[in-house]
């Protein structure tokens, strides 16, 4: 059996844990939305995987997002409920809809995903007698100074309500350490790292050719990509400054930022910054894409420039699974994920990040391909989807043992 409290343990490639599946008992995931992000992609993989293993699974979200993963859930027959929240201040009618939906789904386990769903699962516990509460922690050391008062209030409230959870599942060792420092009950926190579907996330030469053509880049040009929402924690500014440094010695390198932003003012600021740094012709800005295989396959080097808040950055596991070497900042569990297959540098240092990118770009195409194969092997052996499913299954089924 895997030891979920030992980050140094090398677990077997395939974990098989016999778990009893009680008849009529349902696992309900509660999330803000199923927009196209890393945490949401993990929720999708987890729900589908548990469904395939024979569990009754449902997903309830606050906000509808027709461009997200809702269709993917429905295609495999997983019950999906959108509560149709109309905005931040749609409170009492929203709560009533949520209680009614939960009564209908009748969960044995209610699994919150991210802070506000965690909070809601704890607050609604009196309406759900006998239901076990699981929380999901996806971040670590989030700098709340970059966010509004409601985010700060939610963080404080989550901390005070944490004793009401029956189990708290962190997707990173950094997340576990941060939660413990914030006063979450240590004995309830376990670590289940993200799992990557390595059969799905693999390099495609045809997708590379097609997507690069749409970007206007040739196959010979080295493309460095940062995939992530336009949010202060991702520190796109650091990436843009590093790109400017890289271009001084390697004007042949091209860059791409892929992701959406909820704050139009911040998004506009980043795009103006890129133009001020002289990156208009060398940098492509793209919204979040449905076909991530094409995005990843088109890239030669993957970058994570985050300065805080990361737990297990999904994008690093996915791009490594597609055979991409990574240049990442030392946040969350990036060192554990990347190991000796890429470059890990201090956050908030555009010079260090630029040097890491240049180091990987200086490799011959064959050397970079070999390093990419090493990246994929590491993800397959240590962070496969089966391990996520087995470890989560063990954590959740222990609640009704």
pLDDT(13) > 70: no
Chain centre to alpha carbon of residue 15: 22
pLDDT per position as a tens digit, 147-204: 889 899 999 999 999 999 999 999 999 999 999 999 999 999 999 999 999 999 999 9
Residue 148: other Cβ atoms inside 10 A: 11
Over residues 375-395, mean pLDDT:
96
pLDDT confidence of residue 25: 83
pLDDT(241) > 70: yes
Over residues 108-129, mean pLDDT:
95
pLDDT confidence of residue 24: 61
Q: Predicted confidence band at 14 (pLDDT cuts at 50, 70, 90)?
A: very low
Q: Does residue 110 sit in helix, strand or coil?
A: strand
Over residues 53-63, mean pLDDT:
95
| Cα dist from 368 to 93, 272, 299, whole Å | 55, 33, 12
pLDDT confidence of residue 22: 52
pLDDT confidence of residue 279: 96
Query: What are the structure tokens assigned to 195, written together?
Result: 């799992």
Q: Does residue 318 sit in helix, strand or coil?
A: helix
Chain centre to alpha carbon of residue 36: 10
Over residues 99-126, mean pLDDT:
95
pLDDT confidence of residue 262: 84
Q: Predicted confidence band at 401 (pLDDT cuts at 50, 70, 90)?
A: low
Q: Predicted confidence band at 15 (pLDDT cuts at 50, 70, 90)?
A: very low
pLDDT(71) > 90: no
pLDDT confidence of residue 88: 83
Between CA 159 and CA 179 the distance in angstroms is 8
Between CA 382 and CA 194 the distance in angstroms is 10
> What crossing angle do the helices spanning 314-321 and 38-52 adopt, rounded to 10°?
70
φ, ψ (nearest 5 deg) of residue 68: -90, -145
8-state DSSP, 384: B
pLDDT(20) > 60: no
- CA dihedral 85→89→94→96, nearest 10 degrees, is -170
Between CA 145 and CA 170 the distance in angstroms is 23
pLDDT(121) > 50: yes
Chain centre to alpha carbon of residue 231: 14
| Cα dist from 135 to 121, 370, 381, 394, whole Å | 8, 39, 27, 15
Q: Average per-residue pLDDT in the chain? A: 91
pLDDT per position as a tens digit, 272-331: 999 999 999 999 999 999 899 999 999 999 999 999 999 999 999 999 999 999 999 999
> Which of 15, 384, 51 lies closest to 200 in space, CA to CA?
384
pLDDT(7) > 80: no
Query: What are the structure tokens assigned to 270, written together?
Result: 């980043």
Q: Predicted confidence band at 343 (pLDDT cuts at 50, 70, 90)?
A: very high
pLDDT(98) > 80: yes
pLDDT confidence of residue 345: 98
pLDDT(128) > 60: yes
pLDDT confidence of residue 3: 41
Query: What are the structure tokens assigned to 341, written together?
Result: 């297959």
Q: What percent of the chain has pLDDT over 90?
A: 81
Over residues 90-113, mean pLDDT:
94
C-alpha neighbours within 13 Å on the C-beta side of residue 97: 15
pLDDT confidence of residue 4: 40
SS percent in the chain: helix, strand, coil, step 5: 45, 15, 40
> Which of 98, 34, 104 lies closest to 72 in space, CA to CA?
34
pLDDT confidence of residue 21: 57
Query: What are the structure tokens assigned to 330, written together?
Result: 């030392």
> What crossing angle do the helices spanning 236-249 and 350-361 adopt, rounded to 10°?
50
Structural domains of the chain in order of their starting residue, each with its CATH number: 26-195+384-400 (3.40.50.2000), 205-382 (3.40.50.2000)
Q: Predicted confidence band at 38 (pLDDT cuts at 50, 70, 90)?
A: confident
Residue whose pair of structure tokens reads 């009754």 in the numeric block: 56
Strand 26-31 with 109-113, pairing? parallel
Over residues 199-210, mean pLDDT:
96
């Amino acid at each position: 059996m895997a030891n979920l409290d030992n980050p140094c343990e090398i677990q077997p490639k395939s974990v098989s844990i016999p778990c009893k599946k009680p008849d009529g008992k349902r696992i309900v995931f509660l999330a803000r939305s199923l927009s196209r992000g890393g945490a949401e992609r993990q929720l999708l993989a987890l729900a589908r995987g548990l469904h395939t293993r024979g569990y009754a699974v449902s997903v309830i979200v606050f906000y509808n997002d027709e461009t997200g993963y809702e269709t993917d859930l429905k295609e495999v027959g997983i019950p999906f409920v959108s509560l149709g929240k109309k905005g931040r201040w749609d409170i009492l009618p929203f709560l009533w809809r949520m209680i009614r939906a939960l009564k209908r789904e009748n969960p044995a386990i209610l699994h919150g995903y991210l802070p506000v769903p965690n909070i809601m699962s704890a607050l609604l516990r009196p309406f759900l007698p006998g239901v076990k509460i699981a929380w999901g922690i996806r971040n670590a050391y989030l700098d709340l100074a970059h966010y509004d008062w409601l985010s700060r209030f939610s963080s404080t409230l989550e901390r005070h309500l944490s004793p009401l959870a029956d189990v708290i599942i962190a997707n990173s060792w950094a997340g576990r350490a941060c939660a413990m420092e914030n006063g979450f009950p240590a004995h309830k926190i376990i670590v289940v790292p993200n799992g990557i579907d390595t059969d799905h996330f693999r390099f495609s030469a045809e997708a590379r050719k097609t997507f690069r053509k749409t970007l206007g880049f040739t196959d010979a040009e080295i493309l460095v990509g940062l995939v992530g929402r336009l949010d202060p924690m991702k520190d796109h500014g650091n990436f843009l400054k590093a790109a400017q440094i890289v271009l001084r010695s390697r004007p042949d390198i091209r860059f791409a930022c892929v992701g959406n932003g909820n704050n139009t003012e911040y998004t506009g600021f980043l795009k103006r910054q890129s133009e001020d740094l002289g990156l208009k012709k060398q940098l492509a800005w793209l919204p979040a894409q449905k076909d991530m295989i094409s995005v990843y396959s088109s890239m030669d080097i993957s970058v994570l420039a985050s300065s805080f808040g990361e737990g297990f950055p999904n994008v690093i596991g996915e791009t490594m699974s597609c055979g991409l070497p990574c240049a990442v900042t030392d946040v969350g569990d990036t060192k554990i994920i990347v190991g000796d297959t890429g470059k890990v540098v201090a956050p908030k240092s555009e010079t260090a990040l630029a040097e890491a990118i240049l180091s990987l770009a200086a490799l011959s195409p064959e050397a970079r391909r070999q390093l990419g194969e090493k990246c994929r092997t590491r993800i397959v052996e240590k962070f496969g989807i089966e391990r996520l499913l087995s470890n989560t299954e063990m954590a959740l089924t222990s609640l009704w043992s």
